[in-house]
Amino acid sequence: MIIKAVNGKSPKIGKDCFIAENATIVGEVEMGDQCSVWFNAVLRGDVHFIKMGNKVNVQDGAVIHCTYKKSPTTIGNNVSIGHNAIVHGCTIKDNVLVGMGSIIMDDCIVESNSIVAAGAVVTKGTHIPSGTVYAGMPAKKIKDISEDLSKGEIDRIADNYVTYSSWFKDE
């Protein structure tokens, strides 16, 4: 793994986190407890800060970055960032699922208890309301989240990634 200071700012990693051997975390990155950063994921806090809450999983190949002196990236608690997603200079609140291959651009706000579907492109400045599912290019609301979807996907995936990371810590 590459964990590297940039311009005198070093990553801060919480308790009980898993960082894959080939993940890259550089600069002003702060993550809470029970987070996981998976294979080939990149968190680049070189041009602005990245702040993550507790129980955030950044899956394989995902990229989290910011815009220089303008748009940091803030991620709440209990968030899953799917494989190969790009999260750039935006705010993602608590209990959110960011689907595989999706892109969330600068100055977007994804409110709590929401899903960004796989492959969605959330264009600059989009505000995703709490309790909604956004999909497509550009991403638009396709439905409200049911209790089954919230518990069955958002919570299940975040909880599963805490379990998966424990398998790697024991090796």
Q: What is the pLDDT of residues 41-89, one digit of tens each?
A: 999 999 999 999 999 999 999 999 999 999 999 999 999 999 999 999 9
Residue 96 pLDDT greater than 70, yes or no: yes
How is residue 131 annotated by DSSP?
T
Q: Which domains does the chain have, with CATH numbers?
A: 2-165 (2.160.10.10)
Q: What gap in Å lies between CA 86 and CA 128, rounded to an integer?
A: 16
- Note the pTM of the prediction, 2 decimals: 0.95
Q: Which helix (H) or strand (E) holds 2?
A: strand 2-4
pLDDT > 70 in the chain, percent: 99
Which pLDDT band, with edges at 50, 70 and 90, does 170 fall under? low
Which pLDDT band, with edges at 50, 70 and 90, does 1 fall under? confident
140: helix, strand or coil: strand
Query: Which is it for the CA torsion 5, 79, 90, 65, positive or negative?
Result: positive
Which pLDDT band, with edges at 50, 70 and 90, does 171 fall under? low
